[in-house]
Amino acid sequence: MLRYFWVLFNAAIWTIVFGLSGILASIFESNKGRTLGHCARLWGKFILFFTGVRYSVKGLDNLDPNGPYIFACNHASGYDVPLAFAGLPYWLISIAKIELKSVFILGWVMETAGHIFVDRKRSENAIASLEKSKKSLINNPRSILLFPEGTRTMDGELGFFKRGGLMLSLDTGIPIVPVGLVGTFEMLKKGTWSFKNQPLEIRIGNPIDPKIFSNDSKNSLAKYVKTQVHTLLDQN
């Protein structure tokens, strides 16, 4: 349990340090959000380092270093977010539940950085948020961190992939990259205070060209992306 509270302490302290530092630095930049993007990566790295978590990344050679991409990841643990920000070397913004917007400091930092908030309880609001984000991404391309399941798994199994966030790929032309986050479920399960330290791994698949799908095949896109993520998770 002490390790669990140490994790929470690190998440809180580095959110404050890098969040406020990034906001102050962004006052002087022309491309708003880029500095906070760098801070988010440092945030993830510091959390992993100070909680003693080792990780590796496989498949970066599948990607263009300049991006941008929509990274579609499985969601198994609270550690997924810092792991993804630490291991994916891109200017990342996330699609996040709107409840995070009201979290002290975190919500302010995320909003300033341009993260996309989605109201999961009101579909019309969620659609409006994604529509607004589409225009922003076309004008200022960035990579997106997306968890298509919408919430963390309770049993470690891959859940249903929602199509909403994935549709940004069809609307913007940004390729989708399937990502398997391995080991996070065993490390920190949802609803428990147990923390089991072990090496984590990010497995990156091949980019999916949105041109091979159409607006009429939304469900097929979600199913295909889920299959690709599942394949990555099953690799030995």
Beta strands in the chain (DSSP E): 55-58, 70-73, 92-97, 116-118, 143-146, 176-182, 200-204
The predicted structure's pLDDT at residue 215? 65
Give Cβ neighbours of residue 33 (< 8 Å, ≥ 6 apart): 26, 91, 93, 112, 113, 114, 140, 142
Residue 151 scores a pLDDT above 70: yes
CA dihedral 20, 23, 26, 31 (to 10 degrees): 130
- Tens digits of residue pLDDT in 104-116: 889 889 888 888 8
Q: Note the pLDDT of residue 125.
A: 64
Residue length of the chain: 236
Q: What CATH number does the domain containing 52 carry?
A: 3.40.1130
Quote the domain boundaries for residue 95: 2-234
Is the pLDDT reported for residue 169 higher than 80?
yes
Hey, which of 22-36, 37-51, 215-229 has the most confident mean pLDDT? 37-51
Q: What angle do CA 57, 230, 177 make, to 5 degrees?
A: 55
The structure's pTM equals 0.91
> What single DSSP character describes residue 157?
S
In this predicted structure, the answer to whether residue 178 has a pLDDT above a threshold of 80 is yes
Max mean pLDDT range (148-162, 185-199, 215-229): 148-162
| Residue 210, pLDDT above cutoff 90 | no
Work out the end-to-end distance of the chain between its first and last CA atoms, rounded to an integer number of angstroms: 31
- φ, ψ dihedrals at 42, nearest 5°: -65, -40
Stretch 90-117: mean pLDDT, rounded? 88
Domain count, the chain: 1
Encode 127-145: b = buried (16+ Cβ within 10 Å), e = exposed: eebbeebbeebeeeebbbb
